[in-house]
Amino acid sequence: DAKTTQPTSMDCAEGRAANLPCNHSTISGNEYVYWYRQIHSQGPQYIIHGLKNNETNEMASLIITEDRKSSTLILPHATLRDTAVYYCIVSFDSWGKLQFGAGTQVVVTP
Partner 1 sequence: DGGITQSPKYLFRKEGQNVTLSCEQNLNHDAMYWYRQDPGQGLRLIYYSQIVNDFQKGDIAEGYSVSREKKESFPLTVTSAQKNPTAFYLCASQWGQGLNTEAFFGQGTRLTVV
**Binding residues for partner 1, per CB under 8 A?**
30-32, 34, 36, 41-46, 49, 87, 91-103
* 59 vs 74 by CB, closer to partner 1: 59
3-state secondary structure of 69: coil
Distance in Å, CB of 11 to partner 1, minimum: 18
Do 37 and 45 contact (CB within 8 A), yes or no?
A: yes
Identify which of residues 94 and 110 has a Cβ nearer to partner 1 in the complex.
94
CA distances from 76 to 17, 19, 59 (A): 4, 8, 8
Nearest CB to partner 1, comparing residues 49 and 74: 49
